[in-house]
C-alpha cells in the first residue's frame, strides 16, 4: 500500500509539477499529512526536491514550496550494441537524457566477449560523466538487435546481424555488479517514442530498421511482447511471396526489399561505413538509382504495414531508428501504398510519421526502462 502511494505521489508530481504538497493531496485524495510523509520519504530517496515557488504573481499570500522530480540522484543507464556502433545514455528520473555517448564500431561477427567488454568500458565512462552531474545509476539495460526471450532473463537468444547465438551477458561482462539486462532495440525504441512523443498514441507500431527490420507494438500504452517475446518481427513478412530468396529460408520477405543491404544493392552502391548515412547522402544528392531503390523499399514497407494496420488497428505508425533518417524518401511511398491498400477503414496519411528521436531512440529507451521501473515502484530507490 505504501509502495503504491509512493508511486502515486511521485507519478503525480512527474505529470503535473510544480505542485505543492497540498496540491498533490488534492489531486490524489489522500490527507495532507499522509502526502507529506510520502513526500519526505521520496525526498530522502532522492526522487523529489522541494523549493520555493517562483511567484507567478497570480496567487495571493506568501509563496509556497513546490515539489519537483529531481534532476540529480537516481538515474537509468541505457546501452546499445548495434551492427556498426556502440552507444550509451544516462537519463534522470524526469526521463531527460543527460549523458550521450556513441562510437562507430563494426560489431558484426566479432566475439561477443570482446564487444561486451567495449560496451562495458563505454558504460563506465558514461556513468562517470553522470556521477559528475550528481546522478547515480540504479539500473542498466542493453539494447540489442536481436531476440531476447520472455523466459530467460539476461540471455540474448539470437542476434543474427551481430552473429550472436545464445549469449548470456553475465558470462562476458567484466564487472558482475553492473551486468545490464538485455532487451530488443525495437522494443526500447518504441518505449522512448511513447515517453517522448509530442502527440502520444496509446496503440502504435514502431518500425525500426537498418540491417534487419523490426517492429515493436505498443498496445494501450504498454509494450506487447507476444506469447514468447517474438512479437513485431516485421522483416520476414512475405511481401512478394514468389520473390527473392531470403537468408531465413523463405522467399520475398520484407528484408529482401527494405533491409539496408537490399536497398544498397538495388541502388548500385557499395557498402562502406554506415549504410543508412550513405543512402541518405546519395538520395539527398538526387542519385536516381538510390531514389528508385528507396521508393521500392517504401512500397514494400507499405505492404507489410498494411498487414499490421489490418490486424492491429493502431492509432498510428512510427518509422524510427536509423530509418527515421530516410523518412523523407520512404514516407511518400509508404503512404501511397497504404492509401491504395487500406481502404475498408478510415486511415489518415499523417498517421504514419517519422520518429524525432531517430537513432537515439533505442538507447534512450534502454535508459528510460530503469526510470519507469523506479517511478512505478519508488521502494526500489536506494536511500541516498
| 159 touches 143 (CB < 8 A) | no
Q: Residue 90 or 223: which CB sits closer to a copy of itself?
A: 223
Show contacts with a copy of itself in window 296-355 (CB under 8 A). 303-304, 306-308, 310-315, 340-346
**Cell 520475398, residue located:** 252
C-alpha cell at 104: 562507430
- Verify binding: residue 230, a copy of itself, rule CB under 8 A: yes
List 91, 237, 352, 369, residue binding a copy of itself (CB under 8 A): 237
Residue 357: CB partners within 8 Å, gap ≥ 6? Answer: 189, 192, 193, 196, 320, 324, 364
Instruction: Give one DSSP letter per residue of 69-127, joined into a string.
Output: E-SSEEEEEEEEE-SSEEEEEEEETTS-EEEEEEEE---TTS-HHHHHHHHHHHHHHHH
Say whether 249 sits in a helix, a strand or coil: coil
- Verify binding: residue 162, a copy of itself, rule CB under 8 A: no
- Verify binding: residue 163, a copy of itself, rule CB under 8 A: no
Q: Please, what is the minimum distance in Å from the beta carbon of residue 271 to a copy of itself? A: 23
- Verify binding: residue 104, a copy of itself, rule CB under 8 A: no
Work out whether strand 97-104 and strand 85-92 pair parallel, antiparallel, or are unpaired. antiparallel
C-alpha cell at 47: 526522487
- Verify binding: residue 203, a copy of itself, rule CB under 8 A: yes
List 5, 11, 224, 380, residue binding a copy of itself (CB under 8 A): 224
Q: Please, what is the minimum distance in Å from the beta carbon of residue 233 to a copy of itself? A: 4
List 241, 270, 272, 286, residue binding a copy of itself (CB under 8 A): 241
- Verify binding: residue 238, a copy of itself, rule CB under 8 A: yes
Q: Please, what is the minimum distance in Å from the beta carbon of residue 304 to a copy of itself? A: 7
List 219, 261, 277, 356, residue binding a copy of itself (CB under 8 A): 219
Instruction: Give one DSSP letter per residue of 262-329, joined into a string.
Output: HHHHHHT----S-HHHHHHHHHHTT-HHHHHHHHHHHHHHHHHHHHHHHHH--SEEEEEGGGGGGHHH
Number of Cα atoms under 13 Å in the Cβ half of residue 191: 26
Q: Please, what is the minimum distance in Å from the beta carbon of residue 127 to a copy of itself? A: 34
- Verify binding: residue 155, a copy of itself, rule CB under 8 A: no
Quote the CA–CA distance of 318 and 69 in Å, as a whole number: 29
Number of residues engaging a copy of itself in binding (CB under 8 A) = 46
Q: Please, what is the minimum distance in Å from the beta carbon of residue 246 to a copy of itself? A: 9
Site residues (vs a copy of itself, CB under 8 A): 147, 158, 160, 202-203, 215, 217, 219, 224-234, 236-241, 248-250, 303-304, 306-308, 310-315, 340-346
Amino acid at each position: 500500500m505504501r509502495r503504491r502511494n509512493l508511486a502515486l505521489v511521485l507519478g503525480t508530481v512527474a505529470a503535473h509539477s510544480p505542485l505543492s504538497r497540498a496540491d498533490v493531496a488534492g489531486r490524489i485524495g489522500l490527507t495532507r499529512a499522509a502526502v507529506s510523509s510520502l513526500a519526505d520519504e521520496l525526498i530522502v530517496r532522492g526522487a523529489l526536491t522541494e523549493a520555493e515557488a517562483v511567484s507567478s504573481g497570480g496567487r495571493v499570500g506568501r509563496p509556497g514550496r513546490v515539489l519537483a522530480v529531481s534532476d540529480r540522484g537516481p538515474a537509468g543507464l541505457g546501452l546499445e550494441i548495434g551492427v556498426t556502433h556502440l552507444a550509451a545514455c544516462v537519463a534522470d528520473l524526469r526521463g531527460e537524457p543527460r549523458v550521450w555517448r556513441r562510437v562507430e564500431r563494426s560489431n558484426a561477427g566479432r566475439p561477443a566477449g570482446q564487444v561486451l567488454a567495449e560496451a562495458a568500458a563505454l558504460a563506465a565512462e558514461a556513468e562517470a560523466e553522470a556521477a559528475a552531474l550528481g546522478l547515480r545509476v540504479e539500473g542498466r539495460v542493453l539494447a540489442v538487435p536481436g531476440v531476447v526471450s520472455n523466459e530467460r532473463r539476461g540471455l540474448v537468444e539470437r542476434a543474427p546481424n551481430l552473429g550472436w547465438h545464445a549469449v548470456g551477458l553475465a558470462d562476458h561482462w567484466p564487472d558482475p555488479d553492473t551486468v545490464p539486462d538485455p532487451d530488443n532495440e525495437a522494443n526500447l525504441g518504441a518505449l522512448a517514442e511513447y515517453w517522448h512523443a509530442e502527440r502520444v498514441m496509446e496503440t502504435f507500431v514502431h518500425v525500426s530498421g537498418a540491417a534487419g527490420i523490426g517492429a515493436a507494438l505498443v498496445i494501450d500504452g504498454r509494450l506487447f511482447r507476444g506469447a514468447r517475446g517474438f512479437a513485431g518481427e516485421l522483416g520476414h513478412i512475405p511481401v512478394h511471396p514468389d520473390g527473392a530468396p531470403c537468408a531465413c529460408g523463405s522467399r520475398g520477405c520484407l528484408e529482401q526489399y527494405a533491409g539496408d543491404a537490399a536497398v544498397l544493392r538495388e541502388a548500385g552502391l557499395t557498402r562502406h561505413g554506415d549504410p543508412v548515412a550513405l543512402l541518405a547522402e546519395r538520395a539527398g544528392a538526387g542519385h536516381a538509382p538510390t531514389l528508385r531503390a528507396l521508393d521500392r523499399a517504401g512500397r514494400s514497407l507499405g505492404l507489410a504495414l498494411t498487414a499490421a494496420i489490418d490486424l492491429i488497428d493502431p492509432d498510428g505508425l512510427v518509422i524510427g531508428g536509423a530509418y527515421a533518417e530516410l523518412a523523407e524518401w520512404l514516407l511518400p511511398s509508404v503512404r501511397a501504398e497504404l492509401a491504395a491498400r487500406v481502404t475498408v477503414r478510415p486511415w489518415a496519411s499523417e498517421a504514419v510519421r517519422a520518429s524525432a528521436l531517430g537513432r537515439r531512440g533505442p538507447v534512450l529507451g534502454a535508459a528510460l526502462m530503469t526510470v519507469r521501473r523506479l517511478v512505478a515502484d519508488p521502494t526500489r530507490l536506494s536511500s541516498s
